[in-house]
């Protein structure tokens, strides 16, 4: 998992996304540390123009972070996440790639990565550490916990856990799916957003009306009820469904906007890295 991430990160985007992360969570303090070459994504105002002029290429000022951040990954490991996503890939795999990317960025930056994961039955907490081995364990845990025969999903349980257990301000990254938040959940999330710095990554759910799936049987992992294939070929219904998917995504985006949460919806593994980049960028500009 991390190897793939590493390859992804090492290719075109690694530097870019690292810079993005750094500029978002740089933990700026008054204590100047040193200079280093400019990396795309660095804040322009951190560029030491005098040093740049002397040196001949852009140099960025680095400060000693006033304290380490703790990034808490809130991940649903119920069986909803073992279902298929919008691209036909398993949502769990997309979630792990996203969690790995964010965790990797955090660790590279020197932040602690913690995990709050669970189902409707139980919520587990893995305290923050700074090593890649720790991150790997976290990803392993997500991977093994998320199974089709696992317990039902209940992301609210994990969010409640976060709101109950953590007093200190944290960076909370929620990895959820297309399910719209109910009213009481919105209240909970609003409270969390006031206390913590929140980012929300949505993994798009399966396209139920996908044409090449219309002949295959389909069932809802929540209650094993089938989704009748004879209706999944209906052109009018397909149009209505696509419309509703777009509308739902827009509604949840508006909701997160109103709750001051940076959010992003990704649909497949290839869109995870760019998606996180955009998420961080949006978060930076929102200046929450």
Position 248 contacts other proteins (CB under 8 A): yes
Structure tokens at 65: 């972070």
Q: Candidates 208, 253, 274, 278: give the one binding other proteins (CB under 8 A).
A: 208
Quickly list H helices, 166-213.
183-195
* Part in contact with other proteins (CB under 8 A); list of ranges 4-12, 40-48, 112-120, 234-242: 234-242
End-to-end Cα distance, the chain: 31
User: 42-101: which residues touch other proteins (CB under 8 A)?
Assistant: 79-84, 91
Position 249 contacts other proteins (CB under 8 A): no
- Where in 51-158 does DSSP place strands (E)? 59-63, 70-76, 112-118, 123-129
CA distance 142 to 92: 8
Largest CA distance in the chain: 71
CA distance 68 to 110: 7
Position 31 contacts other proteins (CB under 8 A): no
Please say which residue, 24 or 83, places its beta carbon nearer to other proteins: 83
The DSSP bridge partners found for residue 198 are 172
Q: Candidates 6, 38, 63, 213: give the one binding other proteins (CB under 8 A).
A: 213
Please say which residue, 2 or 87, places its beta carbon nearer to other proteins: 87
* Residue 10 DSSP class: I
Q: How far is the CB of 50 from other proteins (least distance, A)?
A: 56
Residues that bind other proteins (CB under 8 A): 79-84, 91, 148, 153, 177-179, 205-206, 208-209, 213, 216-222, 225, 227-228, 230-231, 234, 236-237, 240-241, 244-245, 248
């Amino acid at each position: 998992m991390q190897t793939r991430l590493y390859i992804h990160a090492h290719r075109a985007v690694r530097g870019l996304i690292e810079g993005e992360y750094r500029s978002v969570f740089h933990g700026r303090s008054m204590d100047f540390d040193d200079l280093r070459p400019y990396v795309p994504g660095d804040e322009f105002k951190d560029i030491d123009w005098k040093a740049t002029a002397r040196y001949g290429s852009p140099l960025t000022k680095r400060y000693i972070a006033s304290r380490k951040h703790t990034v808490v990954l809130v991940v649903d490991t119920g069986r909803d996440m073992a279902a298929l996503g919008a691209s036909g890939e398993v949502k769990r795999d997309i979630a792990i790639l996203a969690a790995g990317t964010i965790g990797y960025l955090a660790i590279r930056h020197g932040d602690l990565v913690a995990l709050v994961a669970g189902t409707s039955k139980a919520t587990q907490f893995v305290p923050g550490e700074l090593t890649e081995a720790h991150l790997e364990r976290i990803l392993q845990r997500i991977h093994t916990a998320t199974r089709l025969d696992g317990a039902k999903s209940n992301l609210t349980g994990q969010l409640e856990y976060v709101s109950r257990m953590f007093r200190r301000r944290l960076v909370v990254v929620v990895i959820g799916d297309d399910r719209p938040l109910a009213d009481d959940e919105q209240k909970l999330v609003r409270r969390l957003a006031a206390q913590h710095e929140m980012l929300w990554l949505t993994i798009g759910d399966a396209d139920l009306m996908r044409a090449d799936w219309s002949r295959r049987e389909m069932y809802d992992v929540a209650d094993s009820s089938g989704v009748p294939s004879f209706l999944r070929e209906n052109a009018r219904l397909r149009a209505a469904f696509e419309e509703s998917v777009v509308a739902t995504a827009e509604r949840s985006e508006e909701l997160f906007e109103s709750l001051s949460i940076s959010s992003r919806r990704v649909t497949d593994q290839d869109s995870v890295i760019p998606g996180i980049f955009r998420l961080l960028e949006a978060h930076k500009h929102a200046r929450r």
